[in-house]
Each structure stands twice: as structure tokens, then as C-alpha cells.
Structure 1
Amino acid sequence: MESQSARLANFLQFCIDKKAHLAGKLIHAYIFRNGLIFNTFLSNRLIELYSKCSNIAYAHHTFDKIPKKDVFSWNAILGAHCKAGNLQDAHELFVKMPDRNIVSWNNVISALVRNGLERNALDVYDSMILEGFMPTRFTLASVFSACGALLDVERGQRCHGLVLKIGLEKNKYVSNALLSMYAKCGLISDAVQVFDDMSEPNEVTFTALMSGLAQTDRVLKALQLFRMMLRKGIHIDSVSLSSIMGVCARGGSKEFSVFDQHDAFCSNMSGKQVHCLTIKLGFEEDLHLNNSLLDMYAKNGDINATEKVFANLPLANVVSWNVMIAGYGQTYQTRKALECVQRMCQLGFEPDEVTYINMLAACIKSGDIETGRQMFDSMSFPSVSSWNAMLSGYFQSGNHKDAVKLFREMQFQNVLPDRTTLTIALSSCAGMGFLEAGKQIHAASIKAQFHSDIYVASGLIGTYSKCGKTELAERIFYKMPLLDIVCWNSIIAGFSLNSQDKEAFDLFKKMRQHGMFPTQFSYSTVLSCCAKLSSSFQGKQVHALITKDGYTNDIFVGSSLIDMNCKCGNIDEARQFFNTMATKNTVTWNEMIHGYAQNGCGDEAVSLYKEMIASGEKPDGITFVAVLTACSHSGLTDVGIEIFDSMEQEHGVEPVLDHYTCVIDSLGRAGRFEEAEVLIERMPYKDDPVMWEVLLSSCRLYANVTLAKRAADELLSLAPHDATPYVLLGNIYSSLGRWDEARGVRDLMKDKQVMKDPGCSWIEYQSGDANIYGG
């Protein structure tokens, strides 16, 4: 009898391995006919068979018929329900179990993690530890997976300590899960350490680390790791190839600066090499891999290659079409994206939510907000993601009013917002300084329980700051249970925006004392504060920190450093730093030219402008404002006119009001009023007070009363309560001894109740608390 049971058990194991449902049922019938149905061991195998073949009803029927259920019987049916995703039934079984072992706990924990209930899984794990069970490699792998999904690195580190304590650190299964957890939490150095400690990393190890490196924008490092994988002869499967294509796609999807263009090129070239490897290894038929390939070419902007791959697909699905639509959207080809949707429908593919979102994004990226809105309105039940895409489109196009209006419509339709919805809506309120709407969205965030969310809080801080309510922004900031660098940056920028630069600087110091590492944005903002405070001492301290933290090569931080030094009068230091910058963009050149203009170094500004042109950098409108200002302040009138005339002819930059004002100022300073008047007559901007104010100031220098009177009349009609034209005109009359007319101007000021603002000056005081190092 025992030998017969053993043979039947072996047959059942074969059926389990091959998922041979029909053959298994025949063996079940044989067992029943021969009176072996009460054999607990065989019944347990039958439960496993039906579970493997997804026949949960037969599995439960078999379990119910077992007269003497053992722990293996309970684990078998528990595992069946866990595998089927019947978590409620699994929980009820788990509670009823007369005895539990580690397998029982592992079944429940892994099922919860697989179904996205990571927090519940960790709670079950805590209960398991309290009941005295020692976790196995399977337990810890599930726990690390849960920690990675929740970004709960603190718990993950505690479990890492337990791994070392019980001696599982060399287990490949545990090590892979641990590495993946650190990678998902962004702790790449810890992930690399786990990788280095592994004696024989496999394809899972390499794939997890590559994904982590790509996630933190270390694209080239991820590519180097894949090459190492090839050199070591590690097995390459479709998952590894799909992962490295995702790395290449991530490299292409970034908005690359000049410095990063090499990275983008490397990503596309490496992607083509991986494509060749895919063909070489015979994966041309793998649909998932082909979709990754499409996505990689699309995100690298190589739409021709994307179209070729799509045309040669042996099989396509909705995902393939969605990637094509997204690719056309990324390259601003809205018409082709629409054609793609039409072809997709003609071939019998049903568009899903992603299709509509990609099409919506295509319209928005191309600036076709109207078509995007038509697409949005055609959706029967748009999801939150679709609402967010439309809101984002309005925000990106500067149409803040419609963004707020759409958010209100979303509220009326009882669609619950998420953190993205609230953040975009708040950004639109901030963009137009709409305080009342910002308060309403604040109330909506409290109702939706997102007011403590870091991103929403940052949006609220930004909105209140831009509406001039820094006290409300500060109140939200200090109520936050957890603060990240985004919140700190928001509050610092808010104070700086409202000219509370000393307070902003003090917050920067507090941020560092709280152990936060400043980002490029932090440094750019605090350098702007130093510039506005004309505080060279504090600026030098910040510069030292920037050097220490390795941000000197960041273009935006570098540009801010130049601006700060120039505004503090350290023009030579600014130029020295400018010369050492590895990469420069238009902003960098503009800051240095403008710095020369501010410090009266006209010749140097013009020379640098010419150097900029020679380097191949394209000047923009701000470049010309800077260099024309320099010419005006340094008496280089003819040079300025020559540069002004070259703007549109040679560089395709149409002059605007600021450019005309610079040239008029230059002509006025040189006493060339006839030319200034000719230029005023032909310029399209005559109703701007700044231009007339500039001209009036020049008239004072040359005692040109006639033109001064005209400029003053224009100013008084445009800004009747501005004291400047009265003061300037009165000073002209006084300097010429025309006291009656000067008195008449002062009397007019009194009649119109125009008050002159008092002047002020300040010096930098280096107090003991100025040290930003916290010492």
C-alpha cells in the first residue's frame, strides 16, 4: 500500500510540475475508487495540483474531505487561496489554523506583498516575530520587497541587521531582495555595497542594480554595469534586456543640457547595441521586449527607428500603440499621433486610459491645448491621471485661469484629487497670485487629507509666498510632521521672493543644521539672497560650501555665483570663476556680461559679447539688454547702435521695449537727442513710463528743457502719482535758475498729493551669527 501511495504521489508531482490538470483529475479518480481518498499525504498533493492549475473550487473540496488535516493540509489550501489572490478567504483560514509554522506566515506575507498591501504584510511580519518565529530567506525577501515599495528604508535597515545576525547575508535570494530595496529607496551606495559583497551575483542582481542606477539618473553607470554583466558571462534573459532598454530610455527621456548631450548620445547608441543583442539572442518575437525597444527609441527621440521597429513587429498590442502615440507626442507630431489612434481603432484595438492620456500629452506638448481639451471632453469617465494631464497642459501654457476653473469642475463632478492634482492647481494659483483660490484648494487638500503631503505642502508654501503671505507659508512649513529638501527650498525661495533675504538666509542655515543637504536650487536661491543683500562675506561662505558639495560645475549654481560676485562688486572674482567653468550656457554668458554692465566695465562687456558670438553660443534678448546697458553706462554709443542694428539682421532677435530703452538712454547720455527722438517716433512702444523717465534724466544733464517738458508731460499722463517726473523736471528748472517754474512744479506735486519717497543706504555688518557652518 505504501509503495502504491509513493507511486501515486510521484505521478501527482509530475502533474503539478507540468500543470497537467486532466491527468491529475484521472489520478484523483483512481485514488477515490481505490479507497485512498483519506490518505492525508495524497490529498495534500491533490490540493497543490488544483492550486497550480487555478482550480480553487476542487482544491477546497479536497481539503474539506480530509478527515485528519495536518499543518501541511492547512498550508496547502492557504497557499491555494493566496496564489488565487483570495486574501479575505486566506485570512479566515489563517485565523482558523490550529497550528501554524513559518510556511503559513510566509504564504500570507508574500500574498499581501504581491497584491500591493505592503503595509499589511509588514504588520503580519511583526506579529510573526512577536510569536517567536525565525524568518527564513522567503520571509525576508518579501519583507525587503515591501520596504522597497513603501520606501521604508529605516525598517529595511533593521531587517538587514537581522539578516547579518542570523547568517543569511550570503544567501543570493535575500541579497537580491536587499539590493533591490536599497536601490528603490535611492540608497545606491548601500546597494553597490551589497552587490560588491556578493560572491556570485546573478542576472537578478545585475538587473536590480541597473534599475536603481537608472532611477537615480546614473545612466552611464547602469550601462557600464550591463557591459560588466556581458563580460562576466552572466545569463542574459528577456527581463535583463528589457531592464537595460529602460535604462537607455531613461537617458533619452531627460531634458539634457549641453553638458548632458553626450549622455543622451551614449544612451541612444547603447540602445542600438542592445537591439542588436536582442536579435542575436533570438528574442525578436518577445512582445514585452519589443515594447521596451519601442519605448527606448521613442524616448530617445529617434522616431524613424521607432516607426521601423513598430512596422516589423510580429505582434502588437495596445501597449505598442500607446508607445507610438507617446513617441509622436514627444516629437511634437500631434497629427501623426491622431492618425495612430484612428489606425489603432480601425484594426480593432480598444483604446485604454493610457491611450487617451498619451494623446492628451501629445496635444499639450505641441501647444495644441484646444485639441487636447476636445480629447479630454470626449472621454466618458476621465481618471484622475487624465484630469492631471489636462491641468498640466493649462499650467504649462500659462493658462492658469482655466487650470483653476478645471480644478473647480473636477470638484463639482466629485472626482477625488490626488497630490499631483492639488500641486498643479496650487502652482496655477501661485502663477497668477490668486490668493482666494489658493485658500480654497488648501481647504480641498485638508478634506482629501493631503495637506500633510510633502509635495502639496510645498505647493501651498509656494502659493502663499507668491501671494505675499509669508506668515501663512511659514505656518504650514512648521506644522509639517516631516520636511524634505523640497519644502525647505520652497520656504527659502518664498522669503527671498518677498525681499526677506535675511530671513531666507537664516532658514538656509537652519536647513543645514537639520542635516539637510542643499541642492542646486537651494544654492541658487541663497546666492540670490547674498546678491540682494550685497553680502560678499556670506557669499564667500556659500561659495565654499558649493565647492565642498561639488556643485561648482552646475551651470545654474555657477551662473548664480557670477551674479552674486558681480552684485557685490567682486567683478574680477566673477570673471575668474567664469573662466574656470567647464560648461557654459546662454544664462552664464548673460550673467557675466550683465555683471560688467553693472560695474561700469563697458569695454569688457562688449569684448565678452563678441567672445560669446565667436564661441557659437546664440545670444538671446537678455544678452542684448546686458550688452546695450553696458554700452549706455560706458559711453559706447556707436558700438551700442551697431549691436542694436545687428540684433534682428544677424541673430534673429526682435528688439523689444528694453532694447529700445537702452539705446535711448545711451543717446540721451551722449546728448544726441535728435537721434533719440527719431528712434522714439519709429519704435512700437511709446506708452511706457520707463523710456520717458530715462529720456527725462538725460535732459537734466544737458538742460534740454523743451524735450524735458515733453517727456515730463508724457510721464504725468501715464503715471500721474509718480514723484519722479516732478522731481527731475523741478531739478532742471532749479539748475537753470528758473525758480518760478521750479516752484510751480512743487506746487503741482502738493495739489496732486504726490509724495517723494525718502532714499536709504546700508552697510554690511558681520555679526557673530553670520556663520553658515553652524559652528
Structure 2
Amino acid sequence: MILHSQSYSSMELGQESFQSSIHSGRTFSPTFSSLIGCCARLGQLSDAIDVYQDLVNSGVKPNEFVYGSLINGFVENGRVEEALKYFHHMEESGISANQIVLSSLLKAYGKVDSLDGAKVLYERLKDLEGARDIVASNSMIDLYADRGMVSEAELIFEKLRAKGWANEITYATMIYLYKSVGMLDEAIDIAGEMKLSGLVRDCSSFNKVMSCYAINGQLRECGELLHEMVTRKLLPDVGTFKVLFTILKKGVSIEAVTQLESSYHEGKPYSRQAVITTVFSMVGMHALVLESCEKFTKADVKLDSFLYNVAIYAYGAAGEIDKALNMFMRMQDEDLEPDVVTYINLVRCYGKAGMVEGLKRIYSRLKYEEIEPNHSLYKAVMDAYTDANRHDLAKLVSQEMRYEFYSEQKTGSETKDESDEATSDLDDV
């Protein structure tokens, strides 16, 4: 057998023990089971089969532990047909499957989307001593969830919950089921219960709960969950950032989100921190934002323009207008050209500070196309004039915006498309 170098010593010892057992007439199925299990975990299934075949050829009858290790190895590596083949060998040998074997096979039926086969195995688990294990029950819930079979999944879930056996996988699957059939209230309830039960422990469970809160518009709760995740030193994964970008689409200009997404996918320095900082800022967690901005604005590396944009946005949202304007001046000192995101963030700062002249300068450049006309920037200028208590100028910009972009109907359609896109993204998570 050819094995990975990292497993040479333990596997060689196992093989020597195996050969010694055969030559001396001693056979210990637990040893063979462990050896097969080790091969399977390393993905060395051909080696596992060799050990099994050597065992059979030596005249030793494999027991349920040997078959269990082999079957589970095939299931975990996605080779379902071979798992079922050895299960049939096991039954033909007159060996009754134990709970572990049946649970592994139930997972196998789940991988090939065979509900009928899974139901038969799940019923067989009734006849064994002890309760059905959580792996088997979760596999059944998952199969029902993929088919939108709510009542069947709920029946198993309620039994697990009543006995205190439901784990994070159980809850996450029920959240997925409820979301997939449009039962948002139930998904939110389960997400809240999952959090209160202390089962939000890894990236996957955090992502599931955050996506529910985001769909329901509970953006502050999303920020708090993200902070808890960071505090626990859980590294956000791809799924986390997918949720975060969808959250940002609900409160930040689409241009800013696109810029952050591009920076993240390109792997630019501090891009992940910039996304997290923007989320915290958007939901009003300003103390965390200011601390975060201090870190990357004082970094030794040269900052990209997207980081300046994040800092301007964050300082402005926190009411630190002077710091925001200082970041803009620093950006110019670095010979970085302001883009539409920069201008959107700047006009918001001017509006908060009542700096009408600053707004007029940017709007004049926009109107005379020194800055490329942009719907989000027009709207930001209009909102900034409103914040500065210049409703007359806000009305004027509104009229110009309608003229520039033809009609309010088109504007409403674009807004709806972005909202639908955000909801669709969350459904995918």
C-alpha cells in the first residue's frame, strides 16, 4: 500500500501488527477497524479495501466495526455506491447493522437525494437500543428541507428540541427550510432561539442568523452579531462577507458596495477590515468604527483610495467632520483622484455640518459635468441639502435629478432591482 508520508509511522505499525496477527493466528477486528478508519480519514480508500481484503483472505470474518469503518469512509468521501455495496456485503454475512452504520448510510442516502431509502433506515433505527442519534435526525431534517416538507421536518425537530438534543446543525437547517418556503417569521424565531441557546458558535451559524436578521431589516442586530464574532476571534469566511455585502446594500450607495466588493475580491490590504468597518458605521456602532479607522489610517502601507473613502464615510457618520475632511485633504496630498464614492461621502459630511457652500461647489461640478452625472450622487446632494435645512435647494436638485434621469419611475425601478438583488443574495447564503 502507498500512503501519505505524514502517516507512514502509524500506518506501518498497523500493517506490522496486522501481518503479525495473521501469522500468529491472532486476529483483532478492532485493530483492523482502526487501520481501515485511518486509511479512510486520509482518503486512502484503496488502502482501506486492501486491508479489508487481506482480512477476508486470512479467513477472518469482519465484524460490524470493520464494516462500519469502511462504510463511513466511503460516505465521507462521497462514494455512496461503494458504501451501499459493503452494507449489502455486511447484511449478506448475517451481521446486523448498528446505530453508527445506519447513521452513516442515512447520510449516504442524503448525498444521493434518496428520501425513500433514508426513511427506511430511519425507521430501522427505532428497533435499536437507545435513541436515534443526532446525525441521523439531522440528515432526515436536511432531506425534508431540500424538498420543502415543513411538517415532516418540524416533527423531528420538535422531538430533538424537547429532549435538548438539537444542535447548531439542526437549527441552521430549520432556518434554511423556513427561509426557502417563505416562512420568514419562523426563521427569525428559530434564529433568535439558536442565539439564546448558545448554539451560534462558528462562522456557518453566525452567517445563518445574520442573514435572517438582515432580511428582516434588523441591521443593528447584524452588527452586534458581527462584533461578537470578531470578539471570539472567529475569522469571517466567504459566506460571512456575502452576508455583509448584502447588508451594506441596504444602507450604503451601490457604488460604495461595488468598490468594497472589488477590493475584497482583489485581496487588497485592509479590504476585509474596510468592509467590517463600513458595516459597523452603517448600523451606528461608532466607537468600534473610530478605533478601526485609527488602525488602518496609521498603517505604514500606502492607503488605497477605497480606504480613504471608508474613513471619510465612517468619520462623517460618527459626526467627526473635521477628521473626515482631513482624510479628504490627505487623499489629495497623496495625489489620489476622488471618485463618485468620495464625493457622495463628502456631500454627506457637508450636509451634517451645514456647509452649504461646499455642497454648492460639488453640485455645480456635477451639474456642469465636471463630475460624471450619477444617480446616487444626485440623491446624496439632495439629502445633504435637507440635512442642512435648505429644503429649497433640495427641491431644486430633485427637479434636476428627475430631468437628468428622465423619470421617477426609472429611479424607483432601479431601487427595487437593488433591493431584490439584496434579498436574492441572502437567500443564497
- Output the TM-score relative to the length of structure 1: 0.29
The structure with the largest alpha-carbon Rg is: 1
The answer to which structure, 1 or 2, has the higher relative contact order (CA under 8 A, 6+ apart) is 2
- Output the TM-score relative to the length of structure 2: 0.49
